[in-house]
Amino acid sequence: MSYTFHWEVPLRNLPQFLWGALATLEMSGVACLLGLLVAVCAALARLSKHRFLRGAATAYVEAIRNTPFIVQLFYVYFGLVVVGVNLEAFSVAIITLTINCGAYSTEIIRAGIQSIHRGQTEAGLSLGMTHWQVFRHVILLPTLRVVWPPLASQFIATMLGSSVASQISAEELTYAGMMLESRTFRTFEIFFFITILYFLMARLFSFLFSLTGHKVFREAWGQL
């Protein structure tokens, strides 16, 4: 092996990577929150009485879950251009990540809602709660509590998957690495370093979820 490693290349450009890491956190954080909203709506649609709503939600979930993210990304990226909407790559990445994360989370939330017994809803209504109150206190919060751990795994997967957004030149961590790579050709060192950063961010996500689970749902520590 006649290769000399140059670890000083990624280390000297640490500020760029930290900026990229923040961009990744921003991109995936926004996409996860919006995706959660989409998922709650789509899960309700999948469980609704209206055939059309049910069909549309099922088609959405199946179409997204059975195609690769990179293809979805290209589709949205070029599709928006075709219909004449010009957005920067970062926004396109957020939109696609939201659509993607929303579909996976829909199935998680649907399973959660189905785990709540019908009797609970009826009990809430007969106590004089409004439909909104029942939805909020009897369905949504207990559901989120049940699905918090799988939701955390999904959001971490979304964050790791956001690295693919570099392929449409959305400026995040992987893109920062690719830029530096094209100037220095230290491919291995740079991507190895970035991988460590992703690993740490995944841990951070996991910790944040554990913390919010603890604060919001009064769960015991260490569930995740």
CB of 196 to another protein, least distance (A): 8
For another protein, the closer CB: 71 or 128: 71
- Give CA–CA dist 114/80, Å, rounded: 36
- In the complex with another protein, the residue whose CB is nearer, 70 or 144, is 70
Do the beta carbons of residue 96 and residue 190 sit within 8 Å?
no
Residue 134 or 162: which CB sits closer to another protein? 162
Least Cβ distance, residue 96 to another protein (angstroms): 12
How far apart are CB 218 and another protein at their closest, in Å? 28
CB of 119 to another protein, least distance (A): 23
Q: Is residue 118 classed as helix, strand or coil in its secondary structure?
A: helix
The burial class, CB within 10 Å (0-12 / 13-18 / 19+), for 104 is buried
Instruction: Please report, as ranges, the residues that interact with another protein according to CB under 8 A.
Output: 1-3, 62-63, 65-72, 74-75, 78-79, 82, 156, 160-161, 163-164, 166-167, 174, 187-188, 191-192, 194-195, 198-199, 202-203
Q: Which long-range contacts (CB under 8 A, 24 or more apart) does 139-144 make?
A: 139/113, 140/40, 141/217, 142/116, 143/109, 143/112, 143/113, 143/115, 143/116, 144/112, 144/217
Residue with smaller CB distance to another protein, 71 or 220 = 71
